[in-house]
Amino acid sequence: MTDLVDNIEYFYTKDNLSCRDISQKIRRSPSFVYQHLKKRGLMRNHSESILCRNTNCDYTKTFINDHLLELIDGFMLGDGHIQKGMKSSRLSACLKELDFCDYWLRAFKCYDPKATLQTINSSRYQSTVKFWNIRTKSHGDISQQRQRWYHGNTKIVPLDVRITPLSVSLWFCGDGTRARTRNTVWALFCTQGFRKSDVKMLSKRLQQTGIDCHVTNQNKIYVSANGYKDLIKYAPCSIDCYSYKFKE
């Protein structure tokens, strides 16, 4: 029992987890966690007791439809992740742009997402970087999507991935790069984190929409100048802060 109590207090005070998140980790009810923290005088605020009991997410209902699958696949092709829980999973992402954060929160409103602004010291940018850490509530729908998008703990691309104007637009916003060489504009999809077979499949699927592209030696998808014109016609910008990526 001592270890359990210590874990509750550590998760709450050090990891800054909510009562509901702690309850999932220790396999006890949110009210059990809340009552313990209340006795120790550790509650951050009174509203925590409400948050651990109430949520805007209906766990008994499925929300999956074609539009939501396009959104999920578009984000997962980019920087989206699915965190596996003990019973179900949640969508998560770390985003730098507030516009992208707002879009994400609206897109997955049915799963009651939350965003937290965090600051880190980045060696890559050699400065302090702020980003939005976003995650939904855990839900059975998302657990099903994890089965599509992961082999064990390795992120893969499912064979039935949605390649549509919306999903490609979100993918390009998240992991696409627009480049210019003299008077020529071309693009890259930064797919090097996926398996080579997955990237070849994605390249072929893009080609089927009429976009001229191929896989590079770095396992990225190169979109030619002509292909770029077709890309931004096929998948117009969906998030204002990334409009610069969609200009000829």
Domain CATH code at residue 132: 3.10.28.10
Considering its fold, how many domains does the chain have in total? 3
Count Cα atoms within 13 angstroms, Cβ side, for 103.
22
Ramachandran class of 215: left when φ > 0, alpha when ψ lies in -120 to 50, beta otherwise: beta
Whether 186 is covered by a domain: the verdict is yes
pTM metric for this prediction? 0.76
- Residue 196's closest CA among 207, 206, 204? 204
Whether 57 is covered by a domain: the verdict is no
| pLDDT one-digit tens code per residue, 192-206 | 999 999 999 999 999
Identify the residue whose tokens are 């880190």.
120
| pLDDT one-digit tens code per residue, 24-45 | 777 776 667 777 776 766 655 5
Residues 130 and 190 in one domain: no
Whether 75 is covered by a domain: the verdict is yes
- Cα separations (Å) of 184 from 67, 105, 163, 229? 34, 36, 26, 11
Whether 59 is covered by a domain: the verdict is no
Residues 84 and 108 in one domain: yes
Whether 61 is covered by a domain: the verdict is no
Whether 125 is covered by a domain: the verdict is yes
Residues 147 and 170 in one domain: no
Determine the average pLDDT of the residues in 234-248: 94
Choosing from 154, 176, 191, the residue where a domain stops is 154
Show the domain range for 171.
Answer: 165-246
Residues 174 and 241 in one domain: yes
Q: Is the pLDDT of residue 209 over 90?
A: yes
Residues 6+ apart with CB under 8 A from 46: none
Identify the residue whose tokens are 């931004």.
232
* Summary mean pLDDT of the chain: 87
Whether 60 is covered by a domain: the verdict is no
| pLDDT one-digit tens code per residue, 149-184 | 999 999 999 999 999 999 999 999 999 999 998 889
Distance (Å, whole) CA 86 – CA 248: 47
